[in-house]
Structure 1
Amino acid sequence: MLRKTFVLAAASALLTLALPALGLAQEEAPPGNRELSLALDTVWVLVAAVLVLFMQAGFAMLEVGFSRMKNVGSVVAKILANLAIAAVLFWAVGFAVAFGTGNALFGTQGWFLAVPEGAVDEVYAGLAWTQVPLSAKFLFQVAFCAVSLAIVWGTMLERTKFAVYLVFAVVFAGIIYPMVGHWVWGGGWLTELGMQDFAGSTVVHLSGAMAALAGTLLLGPRLGKYDDEGRPVTIPGHNMPLAVLGVLILWIGWYGFNPGSTMAATPQIADIALTTTLAAACGVLGAMAMSYLYRRHVDVGMAGNGAIAALVAITAPCAFVAPWASAIIGFVAGVIMYATLLFVDRIGVDDPLGAIAAHGMGGVWGTLSAGLFTTPELAAVGRPGLLYGGGLYQLGVQALGILAAGGFVFLASLLVFAALKATIGLRVKPEQELNGLDVSEHGVYGYAGFPEHLIATDHPVNGNGGGAPRNAPAEGAA
């Protein structure tokens, strides 16, 4: 008993002596807490940037899966080249155009990330709201640019010259994409109007899809895609498991895309991850339902595209809407994607990956949905949505942003692709397309030992579907 009393007395005395020191430690805690908070924010942004960069692997697997065996090597070559070009051009020019201090249309400061000491917020006013280091800001944003560029090529698979990818990537990563980014995120005119696009339904996905549409219209369909009467012919991809693996990688990468756009390690990232997950899941269900109603079976490729369309759609409102709304947004996105894909196919636009439907219409619906479902409590920018009594203003701003950004990207891309068509040509020769781009563009098969005798013919094993060069565009010989 005496020993317990002595121990308690000694502990009390030590605690009393320590109180001044503890009080001093509490007074000095705020600076330390700020440093710790900044470190955590920086780590989170870098992790998110890596997740978004990992989406390039998702695009690679998705495109490989939906391509024929004779073209898979060209897909991965294009992915690597465009990621490299996007990184260099966005560092040199694009980041300054998007986030540099300037005017309502584009930034005019911060080329090559050259900033006087202590002047980061003045030079890059568009990102002054986040205090992570400039290098972290750049790495996160360049990953977004690379994703938008990757979307462009999903519609132009299996018939495009490799040089076209390289030239267009320079213009897109250096000028076209950054200008839209400045309008919405960098302090431009849509920023001032209060447009809600938290992680890029319009800036990233609609931009990529509209550039893709411009290129595809000038490029023309793959050989054998349409019969003599103009009816679409199915050209199946060669590996659906790889395509679904690509979808799952993209889904995982989206947890960097959406929650990472907080650019801070806050509790909100969990809420954004929740809305992202619910939307994606319901997008799969929406696409499956449409597939069953239309064809009486569940199309695996359509289900995967349903997930992507829903993820695209929730990207704009993910931080502004309640979970129940995200489920509706995702399901509707899956339905819209399916209907759009059928429509696009029937009007003669050959989109092997479904990028126009998933990223284009998914981006349109997602951007508009912010104007419908944004809650008053979560409206960090702009106003509450129409369903919460916010009126038509926010919905109108969202629609204006879609028209302005989509129209600008389409016209600018159309000019670039038209110039390329008139000079180097967009499309490989018909015999090169039939033999496969792996050989004609890169001199090696994507799969070692691929049977050469099947490539040079219209054999159904290699997925040509019996197609012949009778419907090749005139530019095919360029």
Structure 2
Amino acid sequence: MKGDFTILTQVSVENITQGVDFSAEIIQNTLTTNNLWMMLSTALVFIMHLGFAGVEAGFGQAKNTVNILFKNTVTPIIGIVSYSLIGFFLMYPGFEVPGWLDFDFSGWNMFWFKPEEADVSAGYADAGYTYWTDFLFQAMFAATAATIVSGAIAERVKLGAYLLFTVVFVAIVYPLIGSWKWGGGALDAMGFYDFAGSTLVHSVGGWGALAGVILVGPRIGKYVNGKAIDKPGASVPLAVIGVFLLWLGWFGFNGGSVLSADPALVSLVLVTTCLGACAGGLGGFLAAYFVFKRLDLGMVLNGVLAGLVGITAGADVINPISALIIGFIAGILVVLSATFLDRMRLDDVVGAVSVHLTCGIWGTLAVGLFSNNPEHTFLTQLLGVVICGATAFFSAFIIFYLLKVTMGIRVSEEHERSGLDSHEHGIRGYTIVYDE
């Protein structure tokens, strides 16, 4: 280390004596460091799609495994392409005056036909990252919002209807709502705060999931004589792997939302994120034991995810103690929410509505209670939740309803009973071959 420092000092002195613009070199190095962190964060968010696939396939029935994995494979593909065509330019329109609608697509031509004009210099985003990294990081978030819907309506939704919903939701609904805060729109002007997307990503996806669950209806045999019937998942180990992959990816989801490699802020965000997850798992464990009188692994797993969703809105403006409180309450809420949904006969295969919607709302409101910034108020957070929630839910409801009355959104009873794998894909996820 001492030798390296001596060499660095000599190089620095040499640069100064030779008249080298050392400040420009520092700025370029800063851009490189920040951009590397943002690209790593992008990769971590991308791997969350594998986590979602694992959770959904693990909690879903074995007869629908291929169908579930197919959706989770195609969702990021469609989501990223849709976002590149429309969503990115709708989400960051460059409001001249903060408002609600701004359809400026001036950057579209440069993105597709003049990529050499993209700003990859330190002048873009305060040397935090380049234009291309900006797009890719945000595209991963957009695809995540659609994936949330997939898990809730699994095992009975038509694949074609779901994919069409994904195109419209990712290309228009998600980026429009996102523009109101992250694009410098009206919510941002009123002081609404959502650091990494408890509302803008998770609740928006959760509202879409709720609309889908209502319109597609429960699975056959899920509710009998007023009681919810357990439908055993295909693989508990796969669900556990999925949750840990999501937890890993969340370090990029929240850590990357710092939008630079700022060592102090990134490290704080990673700590609050991890503590929120731990407290959420603990809250889910205790609440499930109290409600169900058993050690419920599924609720511990969803508790971890609930804590992560809950901490996402304020991970950069709260202290570690607050992170534990927010995460713990989220873990309790996810159990109560799942129980309530079953009483309402709203069949959510993986608990997506409870994790992403219920705890996304809680996490956003928690900013108004625990933020170290006095400008973040509970009433402003509540108003933002209501505005985003109403827009996301009714938009998703309309999309699903139009699909329902045109092409239909639910598979036939025969296909649902025998499993979607054989009818839709011609193969099964789990096949045992016996040698004769």
How does the TM-score come out when normalised to structure 1? 0.83
> Partner of 1:241 in structure 2?
237
Q: Which amino acid aligns with 1:347?
A: M
Q: CA deviation at 1:296?
A: 2.2
Q: Which amino acid aligns with 2:383?
A: L
Alignment check: 8 A CA contact 2:421 2:427 kept: yes
Which 5+ residue runs of structure 1 have no aligned equivalent? 1-16, 377-382, 386-393, 452-478
- Asked if 1:397 corresponds to 2:380, the answer is yes
Q: Select the residue among 223, 228, 234 that pairs with 1:226.
A: 223
Alignment check: 8 A CA contact 1:130 1:263 kept: no
**In structure 2, distance between residues paired with 1:234 and 1:417:** 26
Matches within 5 A, 1:398-477: 398-449=381-432
> Partner of 2:42 in structure 1?
49
Over 3 Å counting, the alpha-carbon distance change for 1:117 and 1:194 in structure 2 is: farther
Over 3 Å counting, the alpha-carbon distance change for 1:271 and 1:435 in structure 2 is: same
Cα shift readout 1:144-171 (whole Å, capped 9, x = no counterpart): 0111110011110100111012101110
> Partner of 1:174 in structure 2?
171
Q: CA deviation at 1:448?
A: 2.7
Over 3 Å counting, the alpha-carbon distance change for 1:19 and 1:135 in structure 2 is: closer
Q: CA deviation at 1:141?
A: 0.3
Q: CA deviation at 1:412?
A: 0.6
- Asked if 1:257 corresponds to 2:240, the answer is no
**In structure 1, distance between residues paired with 2:158 and 2:216:** 10
- Asked if 1:65 corresponds to 2:61, the answer is no
Q: Which amino acid aligns with 1:33?
A: I
Matches within 5 A, 1:283-298: 283-298=280-295
Over 3 Å counting, the alpha-carbon distance change for 1:404 and 1:84 in structure 2 is: same
Over 3 Å counting, the alpha-carbon distance change for 1:61 and 1:21 in structure 2 is: closer
- Asked if 1:33 corresponds to 2:26, the answer is yes
Matches within 5 A, 1:56-205: 56-102=49-95, 104-105=99-100, 106-109=102-105, 110-111=107-108, 113=111, 128=125, 131-205=128-202
Which 5+ residue runs of structure 2 have no aligned equivalent? 1-9
Alignment check: 8 A CA contact 1:41 1:264 kept: yes
Q: CA deviation at 1:120?
A: 5.5
Over 3 Å counting, the alpha-carbon distance change for 1:253 and 1:19 in structure 2 is: closer
Cα shift readout 1:7-57 (whole Å, capped 9, x = no counterpart): xxxxxxxxxx99974643697321101000001111111100000000000
Q: How many residues align?
A: 416
Alignment check: 8 A CA contact 1:312 1:366 kept: yes
Q: Which amino acid aligns with 1:288?
A: F
SS at match of 2:55: helix
Cα shift readout 1:337-363 (whole Å, capped 9, x = no counterpart): 110110001111001100111100110
> Partner of 1:464 in structure 2?
none
RMSD: 2.2
Alignment check: 8 A CA contact 1:99 1:107 kept: no
Over 3 Å counting, the alpha-carbon distance change for 1:133 and 1:432 in structure 2 is: same
Alignment check: 8 A CA contact 2:39 2:137 kept: yes
> Partner of 1:328 in structure 2?
325
Cα shift readout 1:270-293 (whole Å, capped 9, x = no counterpart): 110000011100000001011111
Q: CA deviation at 1:446?
A: 1.6
- Asked if 1:374 corresponds to 2:371, the answer is yes
> Partner of 1:5 in structure 2?
none
Any runs of at least 4 consecutive aligned residues in structure 1 with deviations exceeding 3 A, and if so which?
17-23, 114-121, 127-131
Alignment check: 8 A CA contact 2:243 2:301 kept: yes
SS at match of 1:258: helix
Alignment check: 8 A CA contact 2:118 2:131 kept: no
> Partner of 2:7 in structure 1?
none
Structure of higher CA gyration radius: 1
Q: Which shifted more, 279-288 or 128-137? A: 128-137
SS at match of 1:264: coil
**In structure 2, distance between residues paired with 1:337 and 1:174:** 29
Alignment check: 8 A CA contact 1:107 1:182 kept: no
**In structure 2, distance between residues paired with 1:254 and 1:108:** 31
How does the TM-score come out when normalised to structure 2? 0.91
Over 3 Å counting, the alpha-carbon distance change for 1:20 and 1:152 in structure 2 is: closer
Over 3 Å counting, the alpha-carbon distance change for 1:450 and 1:72 in structure 2 is: farther
Q: CA deviation at 1:81?
A: 1.3
Q: Which amino acid aligns with 2:421?
A: D
**In structure 2, distance between residues paired with 1:429 and 1:346:** 25
Alignment check: 8 A CA contact 2:30 2:127 kept: no
Alignment check: 8 A CA contact 1:101 1:107 kept: no
Cα shift readout 1:63-110 (whole Å, capped 9, x = no counterpart): 010011100000111011111111111001000000122462244122
Alignment check: 8 A CA contact 1:82 1:165 kept: no
Alignment check: 8 A CA contact 2:156 2:411 kept: yes
**In structure 1, distance between residues paired with 2:375 and 2:324:** 18
Q: Which amino acid aligns with 1:375?
A: N
**In structure 1, distance between residues paired with 2:243 and 2:193:** 26
Q: Which amino acid aligns with 2:81?
A: V
> Partner of 2:208 in structure 1?
211
